[in-house]
Amino acid sequence: MSSAVGKRYARALFEVASERSKIDQVEADLGAIVEAVESNEDLKKIMLHPHIAADAKSQLADELFKSHVGEETFHFLNVLIENGREVDLVDIYRSFVQLANEARGFADAIVTSAKPLSTEEQNELAEKFGQTLNKKLRMTAVVDPAILGGIIIKIGDRLYDGSLKTKLETFAQKA
C-alpha cells in the first residue's frame, strides 16, 4: 500500500514525465534505482540511514546513477534526498507504476497457481480478466503448491481467490 507522500511525489514525477513523453523511461529508471537499492544491503543502509548527510547520499547517487538514468529521474532522486524522502522511494515507484499503467490502460496482475501455468493459460486469463476490467493485463505467474489447486489473481487492490484451499476452508467453516 502506497503512502500519501509516495503518491504525491509519484504524481509530480508522473506529470513531468508525461509532459516530456518519457513515462516509460522514467518508470524503467526508477525501477532500476529501486532494484539497486533493494538488492544491495550496504547501499540500502546508507540511503535509508537518517544520520547520513544528504550531501553524502547525493554524492553517492551521483556516482552510481547519474550516467545510467535520465535527467528527470536523476533530478527527482536528488529532490527526494534533499527533502529526506528517500525512505519513500519504493512507495513512490509503486505509485508511479500505477499512474503509468492507468495512463496506458494496463494493470499488473499476479496469478498464483498450484503448478505452473502454460503461456496459453496465462494469455487466456489475461484476456478474460482484462475484458472484465477493460484493461490490458501484464501477468506475473507465481507457483504455490500450498493452494492445492485453482488460482488466485491479485490485480491492484482486488483479490480473486478461486483456490481449492480457500474453498475447503470455507466448506469446513460452514460444516
Which pLDDT score, from 0 to 100, does residue 171 have?
A: 85
CB 49 within 8 A of CB 37: no
C-alpha cell at 46: 546508507
Which pLDDT score, from 0 to 100, does residue 92 have?
A: 96
For residue 3, name the pLDDT band (cuts at 50, 70, 90): confident
C-alpha cell at 92: 513512490
Q: Which residues pair with 103 in a beta bridge?
A: none
Whether 1 shows a pLDDT value over 60: the answer reads no
Average of per-residue pLDDT values in the chain: 92
User: Where in the chain are all domains bearing CATH 1.10.520.20?
Assistant: 4-102
Which pLDDT score, from 0 to 100, does residue 114 have?
A: 92
Whether 158 shows a pLDDT value over 90: the answer reads no
Which pLDDT score, from 0 to 100, does residue 107 have?
A: 87
CB 9 within 8 A of CB 85: yes
Span 127-143, mean pLDDT?
90
Which pLDDT score, from 0 to 100, does residue 168 have?
A: 87
Which pLDDT score, from 0 to 100, does residue 167 have?
A: 87
Which pLDDT score, from 0 to 100, does residue 174 have?
A: 84
CA distances from 21 to 86, 106, 121, 124, 168 (A): 25, 17, 34, 32, 49
Q: Which amino acid is at 143?
A: V
CB 162 within 8 A of CB 125: no
pTM: 0.72
Indicate the range of 30-44, 77-91, 101-115, 161-175 predicted with least confidence: 161-175
Residue-wise pLDDT for 37-92, tens only, equals 999 999 999 999 999 999 999 999 999 999 999 999 999 999 999 999 999 999 99
- Which of 110 and 1 is assigned the larger pLDDT? 110
C-alpha cell at 33: 534505482
Domain covering 4-102 in this structure, CATH number: 1.10.520.20
Which pLDDT score, from 0 to 100, does residue 2 have?
A: 61
